[in-house]
């Protein structure tokens, strides 16, 4: 019997759902996996299933790309009949992508319990689509699992009953520890030995959708590249915008890669002198790896990476990036320590909590 229907849709979901599926199976909780198809390229999706040993999805919605409204609406329309036929006791969603909110909303309206893994993170920046997804998903979730302690205060501020919240640690870091020994060495991914290099990832709309911001970022990256080679696996959104704005020449000299698989990215980060990023997850992965991270955003929803980890918030301003880069090169960057419960056992804590919680959930199905 399927008790929990788990949802994954976009690249940052896959490394979170992998250990959750494994822990649910180990705990004897009947689970199925649904892929919304928000990310659909082999490089953005399939390779993660293969590398992380995620079972093939039981359901695939194949929604693909679209505006936020179209993508969210398509997931909702296609998810509802699956939910009706599977009839799970709960729907489990992870992270903050459009698929997360879309499936949570359908489940809540059908009276099916919602479990949110990675709840309570807040950037307090409502211009980020992910922030809207986080706030709304948490409001309609019945059981909320958090990765860091700051999340509970955020949830309580928004009126969430703390009895529904459990601090379990970070499932993405479960995946990292489980796969570190299999990480592909950077030299293999790069096809060359670079004694020292930086890895850059860039895809947030706030950094790559505005031509002036993107031009300034690429220019300062070009400068950095002259003293420390910069490796850039290019997200499809960023590549498309670079072409659209006519910025291809600004990439000259960088070590460009297509979007890389999980094990390649893990190796690239582990062996890097530093990482520059606007990703959420990479701020956490670099903290777990002890590699300095400069975050090219004004804010972060993951403050423990700043207070305990290796992360420094730099923003998109070239002067600030230049200064932070010089500091890392001179001083080696933040050493950091591993935050509480980022110990490889978060998914097992989740599975045990669900096992204790599920039987008490009365069906509250609505028409
Ligand atoms: C989404 C998530 C973001 C996450 C990011 C990681 C939301 C709101 N955003 O943003 O939180 O950090 O994924 O990648 O859910 N595309 C492809 N191939 C794919 C997937 C997308 O070419 O497999 C293209 C799309 O056509 C689109 C662009 O990439 O033009 C952006 O994809 P989309 O899923 O809309 O948002 P992301 O920017 O990837």
Q: Give the closest residue to 128 by CA, choosing from 195, 207, 191.
A: 207
Nearest CA to ligand 1 atom 31: 237
- Asked whether the domain spanning 184-331 has the same topology as the one spanning 4-169+343-360, the reply is yes
- The string of pLDDT tens digits covering residues 280-333 is 999 999 999 999 999 999 999 999 999 999 999 999 999 999 999 999 999 888
The structural architecture, per CATH, of the domain 4-169+343-360 is 3-Layer(aba) Sandwich (3.40)
User: Measuring from atom 28 of ligand 1, which residue has the nearest CA?
Assistant: 237
Q: Give the domain 184-331 fold.
A: Rossmann fold (3.40.50)
Please, which residues have CB within 8 angstroms of residue 125's CB and are 6 or more apart in sequence? 131, 298, 299
Say how many Å lie between the CA of residue 39 and the centre of ligand 1: 6
Catalytic residue check, 203: yes
pLDDT band at 363 (very low <50, low <70, confident <90, very high): low
| Residues 206-263 pLDDT 10s | 999 999 999 999 999 999 999 999 999 999 999 999 999 999 999 999 999 999 999 9
For 73, counting Cβ atoms within 10 Å of its Cβ (0-12 exposed, 13-18 middle, 19+ buried), the class is middle
In the chain, where are the structural domains located?
4-169+343-360, 184-331
Q: Is-contact 346 170, C-beta < 8 A? A: yes
pLDDT at 42 over 70: yes
Compute, in angstroms, the gap from residue 205 CA to the centroid of ligand 1. Answer: 10
Is residue 226 within 8 Å of residue 235, measured between CB atoms? no
pTM for the model: 0.97
CA of 227 to the centre of ligand 1 (A): 31
- Per-residue tokens: 189: 């991914």
- Active-site entry in 35, 39, 116, 203: 203
Scored b (16 or more CB within 10 A) or e, 268-288 reads: bbbbbbbbbbbbbbbbbbbbb
How far apart are the two ends of the chain, measured CA to CA in Å? 22
Ligand 1 neighbour 349 (Cβ under 6 A): no
Contact 112, 88 (CB under 8 A): yes
């Amino acid at each position: 019997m399927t008790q929990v229907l788990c949802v994954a849709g976009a690249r940052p979901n896959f490394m979170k759902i992998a250990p959750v599926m494994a822990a649910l199976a180990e705990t004897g909780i009947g689970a199925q996996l649904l892929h919304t198809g928000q990310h659909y390229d082999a490089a953005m999706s399939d390779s993660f299933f293969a590398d992380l040993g995620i079972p093939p999805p039981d359901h695939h919605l194949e929604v693909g790309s679209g505006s936020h409204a179209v993508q969210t609406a398509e997931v909702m329309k296609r998810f509802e009949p699956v939910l009706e036929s599977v009839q799970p006791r709960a729907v489990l969603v992870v992270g903050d992508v459009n698929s997360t909110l879309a499936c949570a909303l359908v489940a809540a309206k059908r009276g099916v319990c919602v479990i949110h893994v990675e709840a309570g993170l807040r950037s307090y920046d409502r211009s980020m689509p992910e922030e809207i997804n986080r706030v709304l998903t948490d409001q309609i979730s019945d059981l909320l699992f958090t990765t860091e302690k700051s999340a509970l205060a955020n949830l309580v501020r928004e009126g969430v009953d703390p009895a529904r919240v459990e601090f379990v640690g970070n499932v993405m870091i479960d995946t990292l520890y489980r796969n570190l020994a299999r990480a592909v060495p950077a030299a293999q991914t790069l096809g060359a030995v670079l004694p020292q290099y930086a890895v850059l990832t860039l895809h947030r709309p706030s950094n790559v959708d505005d031509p002036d911001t993107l031009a300034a970022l690429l220019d300062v990256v070009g400068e950095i590249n002259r003293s420390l080679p910069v490796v850039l696996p290019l997200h499809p959104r960023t590549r498309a915008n670079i072409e659209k704005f006519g910025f291809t020449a600004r990439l000259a000299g960088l070590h460009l890669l297509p979007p890389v698989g999980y094990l390649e990215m893990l190796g690239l980060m582990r062996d890097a002198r530093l990482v520059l990023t606007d990703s959420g997850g990479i701020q956490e992965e670099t903290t777990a790896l002890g590699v300095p991270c400069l975050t090219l955003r004004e804010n972060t929803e993951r403050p423990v990476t700043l207070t305990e980890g290796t992360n420094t918030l730099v923003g998109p301003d070239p002067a600030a990036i230049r200064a932070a880069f010089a500091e890392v090169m001179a001083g080696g960057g933040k050493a950091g320590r591993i935050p509480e419960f980022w110990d490889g056992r978060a998914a097992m804590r989740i599975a045990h909590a669900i096992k204790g919680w599920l039987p008490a959930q009365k069906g509250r199905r609505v028409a």
